[in-house]
A and B are shown apart, each in its own frame.
Chain A
């Protein structure tokens, strides 16, 4: 604390400092003590380990076909069975989860950072700045987010980066709104006035007082947004607009399997269950973060 107080922090570091402080706070509040957080991590940590270990596990590569073993039901060799071209669904699912997590986390990070910056500027300065940001936000929010993402993909093309961009753009307005409302509440706090009486700069007020106090609710929103992004990516891929086959995103897997639902239920169902688990665990994560950061639940 005292070291960071020697000089005003470099501008780029502000958000990271706030995040670091929040993480320290999570630790201080024994965030593992709450059950939601534990269940979220109980799903996410083994899943991440599986993804990391996938190359060294005795699994068929995700893209490798095997015409001798098509449409086989789950077995020890193929825990999730195989598809119409004899590809191993389990290793494809793990690959899909990797893509899902990439999309979820990048969207959440992008939306968080952009929402923080624009929301803080709009809320803190008000006036023309506020009005111009909010007009764009209102226009974007008038579209259902999936439709907006589809439209953006139509412009930008498919692939991982356009998908992340499209979902993030559809999500950022909500973050701007949330941050703006938080800032409006914080702006009139007496400690802001106290800093103003010594002519602290606007940047000082925002970086030292506003942002650190709005990180917590924004992190909660970010973890919900990650869950949402994963579902939207799956929906886009299902519609054939997201990650292009043969890359195995979870949406692709479900789409490929839906034609064979009657003969080979496992092709669609098991990746679907995995999506469900991930989405639930991110929602639990957001509840857990909220509980750990909310001063009202603090001891």
Chain B
């Protein structure tokens, strides 16, 4: 980085930043002693789980924290100016011009009652001193650059007239239109579908490279880090525990937390271990105040020193720092979960009986506005689905939002009635919901929550129900004293265990799990996946695992059904579908998933699936995927392909599937 003998000046230099949040039960140090620098044009990713302080750090850098949070120490030098010494007015000028920001939720970051044009043009005029006409043209130009079709027309739209992906494009265009030197993006693609995410990431990469804009982006997705970043800062409990180039962090991580984190993610290519490595325990309670290394309780290599002194970031080679007392990186620290008598995947003893059979299932939502001249519209949420689930098998259902996977789940549970078609199930179907926060009555104790199905179904007397509840809580790996707590007193991962216990209370033959891990942190996710895998083996329960997370679905499923616009486009054994997808949509989905491996990410072609899902209101005659399919021709647009057998055990709905 040395040119002409000068030491390069970092664009952003953060030194010993400390941020605290005042709470009723004490002070939480959300960011503790964070130091790092970003060079012009460099892309730095901050990864960490929820509560690790990554967002608080970004907000602290911008001085955007609001009460009860405040920056209590440290300096932030941006382009030579110390932000700590600036007044609110000067900071404001700086925020639009030198630093652009993109937040996670594009709906709440755009003003809903203002046209896009107005929101975009005003900052350009102010920051670049352009006339209205020039600024307008500039805004249109930026919309074109971020891939919004027909920008001249779309610029006059209101935010609610756009899809989530379009709104995030507008946010990026707004952030970059004032030609900032630094772009701060907080989980910019978390709310988006994987194919849209791939598009947005590609745009951010291209545009920041062109303009030599540095970027600080915050994410929990290690795959995205590998795809986008030059350097990585790993945060845990408010501290940066490891900092280095992407190659170092992924290739030779030093900190036990980074090592464990990388191992808990299901790999897209490696053979499946029987269980995912998991990090035991939970992140520490930040309110308690942490002495020593915050990770020590979950770390296999923890020593006495780790409990006493807090490790500082120390050099581990060129461009690589880690905060750990262990001099060498300890390989293989992520603990393999306690070994249970294992059965290999795919050879559970039950395997042949079909216990769920779905025949030509349709669910159409018809909106006929009363006394309105608007045309009657039909949304085909589930459109002619045929599926079978065998005893003790896991069927993974993947697809993007709006593909009908959640409606399918609701149909299976009898929460919706099909428009036509049949569902045969042998035994009971139960459900594990996505959001642990809303799937429990906050006024009920865990005991009553698990007991509820038994009471409703009048199973047994009080004593036998208590025995059953206690057995269930043990089965899902919680302790008896959890039974007397309220849901708000448990963590997300613990709540998902409770959800599993409740689902198993009536000994169902099928459990539908709708995105059971997507609200959880990476380190806890593996615990739940392993729990489901164990229960499948022990109880012979079949799971229908619905998710947009392809790596997880592939790990846990025996068979996979890929859905697009209410239809199953491909169905077959998990490995076969993943390794040689027959349908172009399946291929596109798999290609869009960011892989936590910078070497593979670098080799990936930058071609991504273009376009967005067609409106579900549109009448589609041919193949639903034809509007986005790179191989589509006239036949695809006219004639609807049927789901038919390809190779031995796999079905796909494409005219040209091999």
A residues whose Cβ falls under 8 Å from a Cβ of B: 1-2, 5-6, 8, 21, 25, 189-191, 193-201, 204, 208-209, 212-213, 295, 298-299
CB of A213 within 8 A of CB of B448, answer: no
7 A-B pairs with the lowest CB-CB distances in the bound complex, closest first: A190-B439, A190-B433, A198-B453, A200-B456, A212-B443, A299-B24, A197-B413
B438 touches A8 (CB 8 A): no
Q: How far is the CB of A246 from chain B (nearest CB, A)?
A: 49
Which among B431, B443, B448 is the interface contact of A194 at CB below 8 angstroms?
A: B431
The reply to whether A5 and B25 contact each other, CB–CB distance below 8 Å, is no
Beta-carbon contact of B415 and A196 below 8 Å: yes
With both chains docked as a complex, state the minimum distance between the C-beta of A126 and any C-beta of chain B, in angstroms: 14
* B441 is an interface residue with CB less than 8 A from chain A: yes
B447 partner residues in chain A, CB cutoff 8 A: 1-2
A1 contact from B23, B435, B448, B457, Cβ within 8 A: B448
Known: A199-B457, A213-B443. 11 other contacts (CB 8 A): A2-B448, A190-B435, A190-B438, A193-B433, A196-B413, A196-B415, A200-B452, A200-B456, A298-B488, A299-B23, A299-B24
Residue of B nearest to A186 (CB): B441
B429 at the interface (CB under 8 A from A): yes
A78 to chain B, nearest CB (A): 48
Closest residue on chain A to residue B443 by CB atoms: A212
Separation in Å of the B318 CB from the closest CB of chain A? 47
The size bracket of the interface on B is 35 or more
Q: Which of A5, A8, A193, A194 contacts B451 (CB 8 A)?
A: A5
Q: Which chain A positions have C-beta within 8 A of B434? A: 190
> Counting CB contacts under 8 A, is B497 at the interface?
no
Let me know if B43 is at the binding interface, CB within 8 A: no
Pick from B414, B433, B448: contact of A5, CB below 8 A.
Answer: B448
Q: How far is the CA of A127 from the CA of B572 in the complex (A)?
A: 43
Return chain A residues, CB-CB under 8 Å to B449: 191
A32 to chain B, nearest CB (A): 15
From A8, A197, A204, residue with most partner B Cβ within 10 Å: A197
CA distance A25 to B444 in the complex (A): 12
Q: How far is the CA of A208 from the CA of B444 in the complex (A)?
A: 9
Q: Are A194 and B456 in contact (CB under 8 A)?
A: no
Instruction: Flag if B440 contacts A191 (CB, 8 Å).
Output: yes
Among B25, B429, B430, the residue within 8 A (CB) of A299 is B25
B462 interface contact, C-beta 8 A:
yes
Partner of B414, one of A6, A197, A298: A197
- Cross-interface CB contact of A191 among B415, B441, B457, B506, cutoff 8 Å: B441
Chain B nearest Cβ from A2, distance in angstroms: 7
Report if A193-B415 is in contact (Cβ < 8 Å); known contacts: A204-B456, A299-B25. Answer: yes
Shortest CB-to-CB span from A215 to chain B, Å, is: 9
Chain A residues positioned under 8 Å from B414 (CB to CB): 196-197
Could you write out 21 A-B pairs with CB less than 8 Å apart? Answer: A1-B447, A1-B448, A2-B462, A5-B448, A5-B455, A25-B443, A189-B438, A189-B439, A191-B439, A193-B433, A194-B431, A196-B415, A197-B413, A197-B431, A198-B506, A208-B441, A208-B444, A212-B443, A213-B441, A213-B443, A295-B488
Complex CA–CA separation, A177 to B439 (angstroms): 25
Contacts of A8 in B (CB 8 A): 455
Residue B442, interface by CB 8 Å = yes
Among residues of A, the one whose C-beta sits closest to the C-beta of B433 is: A190
Complex Cα–Cα for A243 and B65 (A): 56
Docked Cα-Cα span, A21 to B457, in Å, equals 25
Instruction: Check B29 for interface membership: any CB of A closer than 8 A.
Output: no
| Across-interface contacts of A298 in B (CB, < 8 A) | 488
In the assembled complex, B445 has its CB within 8 A of some CB on chain A: yes
Q: Of the candidates A197, A208, A213, which one forms a contact with B429 in the assembled complex, judged by CB atoms under 8 Å apart?
A: A197
**Cα(A204)–Cα(B453), bound, Å:** 11
Taking CB atoms, residues of chain A closer than 8 Å to B255 are none
Q: How far is the CA of A190 from the CA of B439 in the complex (A)?
A: 4
* Contact B440–A198 (Cβ < 8 Å): no
Q: How far is the CA of A251 from the CA of B444 in the complex (A)?
A: 45
- State whether the Cβ of B502 lies closer than 8 Å to any Cβ in chain A: yes
Contacts of A193 in B (CB 8 A): 410, 413, 415, 431, 433
In the bound complex, do residue A195 and residue B456 qualify as a contact, i.e. CB atoms below 8 Å apart?
yes
Least CB distance from B331 to A in Å reads: 41
Residues on B with C-beta less than 8 A from A5 are 448, 451, 455
* 232-280 of chain B: CB within 8 A of chain A: none
Chain A residues near B448 (CB-CB < 8 A): 1-2, 5
How far does the Cβ of A161 sit from chain B's closest Cβ, in whole Å? 35
For B429, the closest partner residue in chain A by CB is A197
Give residues 503-532 of B contacting A (CB, 8 Å): 506
A1-B448, A200-B456 known; A194 vs B439 contact (CB < 8 Å): yes
- Chain A residues near B445 (CB, 8 Å)? 1
